[in-house]
Amino acid sequence: MTDVELRDPAFTERYRAIAARDSRFDGQFYTAVRTTGIYCRPSCPARTPKAENVSFYLTSAAAHEAGFRACKRCLPEAAPGTPAWDLRRDLTGRAMRLVADGVVDREGVSGLAGRLGYSERQLHRLLVGELGAGPLALARAQRAQTARALLVGTTLRLADVAFAAGFGSIRQFNDTVAEVFGATPSELRARARRGGRSVAADETGRSHRDRSGDGPVSGQPTDLGEHKPEPVRISLTLPVREPFDARGVLEFLAVRAVDGVESADLRVDGADGPAPVLRYARTVLLPHGPGAFEVRVPRPGSGRVDLDLELTDLADAPVAVARVRRLLDLDADPVAVDSSLAADPVLAPSVAAVPGIRVPGTLDPAELLVRAIVGQQISVAAARTHLSRLARGVGSPYVSAFEGLTRLFPTPAQIAGPAHPAPGADGETDGIDVPPGTDAASAYLRLPARMLATVLGAARDLADGSLVLSVGDDPDDLRRRLVSRPGIGPWTAGYVALRVLGDPDVLMDGDVALLSGARNLGLVSAEASRPHQFKELALRGAAWAPWRSYAAMHLWRSA
């Protein structure tokens, strides 16, 4: 054992991981080798370097800042993201979630600092001290990752790749790619083609927008939003840690799917015998305009999810990818979760039966709050009926190439505003007779007056900005703000924290479905009163920390 290992137990654990080429740690830290100037993912197949030549970094940005470039063999930028940003409740975790959502690119470092309640100087100092890289470096690494994915996975012009990845200029794009990957953008693309990587194609077999990008990049990125009214369509492959309960997460979304806004296909068929068809699609409002996406899981254990994007503006590509990853919880650490939960002998059979369970996130925090309020005292099926009626009534029409998508989920302003039925893609309205002056929530949600008032109050405050929800919120502060509102209790606040923030350690108080699942699994006494069962479940659940959200998914599944 080296002196370095004796001084730092974390170094010892990480060095053992790279010696074992353990893919479970890919994306959770990066290995930089001083003698080569290269950084790798832990599972890199190259010979394990000597411990005295190794440094470990929590982010690729920190490795960039220290002067290292990405390994051409293991492609560390293609690894899944780290689950630590959801597990950590501190400033670092909150900042990383916002950086991934493109806040620095859209609002600058000042916007990120303002959202987190710090000055720019404080934020920079704290992130450099914790991660080895400041906000600009973290955002730059995010752009480099997006650029690599678009270069090897699409035939977009190189200028359009630069624009989509968020670079401010072509020169910045060229310089960053060369510095991080040790190759020009065209060389990266050519290398991927020589390696047999597939290029995205649409249903007709033509590459999307059918553009090639050979040679150095020059000129300005094409503003497709101004010059092409048609949506931009690109296809990407998203890495995921296995095991991955793809069917479980898509079923969760499918049973809650709002008609016209979401569409799912979980059938089992195939020309060459039974084969799973796992597909989920939905519309989404992105920073630069409306869009849609479709995800498909080709086969269990493939370690990937295929994603087709339909965008108003290419600049929304990295944001859309980040939000889809959060929706499907692709950056979770399933081995850590399953190992911890399986230590409970009663929960262990469920973990063994459903390895790699995920906690679905959300694409839009405001939408999730409305959906949570509508569904807090009724069944999932009933909530879906109410929300589908609302979407048909006032949701903006949307024409998509993806099957089953016809409109966007209503914005808070539309929900709180007057109920003027919006025509669908076929020109038809919902057919409901709406008296003049009626707000949309009252017209289309058949709910008790108290619940309607809660929905309307939240929608109005979300619309005027007096209530703001984001992936960068502090979990405890989010709960306090929500519970202080009339009609919102701990269950709803916990559910919003679970799905908006990706909080891995939420066990909702008073959830009868959780209690039903706990009884089915034998985790609580079936003969005891309901209040006693809730107390028993809370005590039993303390041992599942910090993964109680994942335990809740097992209980819901059992229920």
Radius of gyration of the chain (CA): 24
Q: Which of 548, 454, 471, 534 is nearest to 116 (CA)?
A: 471
Burial label for 111, CB within 10 Å (0-12, 13-18, 19+), is middle
φ/ψ (deg, to 5) at 119: -80, 160
Query: In the beta sheet, which residues pair with residue 21?
Result: none
Written as one letter, the residue type at 516 is S
Query: In the beta sheet, which residues pair with residue 239?
Result: 304
Cβ within 8 Å of residue 535, ≥6 positions away: none
Quote the CA–CA distance of 399 and 407 in Å, as a whole number: 7
Q: Which of 360, 358, 356 is nearest to 368 (CA)?
A: 360
Let me know if 3 is a catalytic residue. no
Neighbours of 50 (CB within 10 A): 12
Q: Which of 26, 245, 308, 511 is catalytic?
A: 511
Cβ within 8 Å of residue 503, ≥6 positions away: 86, 89, 475, 497, 549
Residue the block writes with tokens 């919120």: 473
Let me know if 175 is a catalytic residue. no
Q: Which of 26, 40, 160, 364 is catalytic?
A: 40
DSSP H helices, 132-195, are: 135-153, 158-165, 170-181, 185-194
Q: SS3 for 292?
A: strand
Written as one letter, the residue type at 549 is S
Count helices and strands (H / E) in the chain.
Answer: 26, 9
Cβ within 8 Å of residue 348, ≥6 positions away: 341, 342
* Contact yes or no for 359/244 (Cβ under 8 A): no
In the β-sheet with 304-311, what is the strand arrangement from edge to edge?
A: 232-239, 304-311, 289-297, 278-286, 262-265
φ/ψ (deg, to 5) at 24: -60, -25
φ/ψ (deg, to 5) at 33: -110, 115
Q: Which of 474, 359, 500 is nearest to 92 (CA)?
A: 474
Q: SS3 for 31?
A: strand
Burial label for 47, CB within 10 Å (0-12, 13-18, 19+), is exposed
Active-site residue set: 40, 511
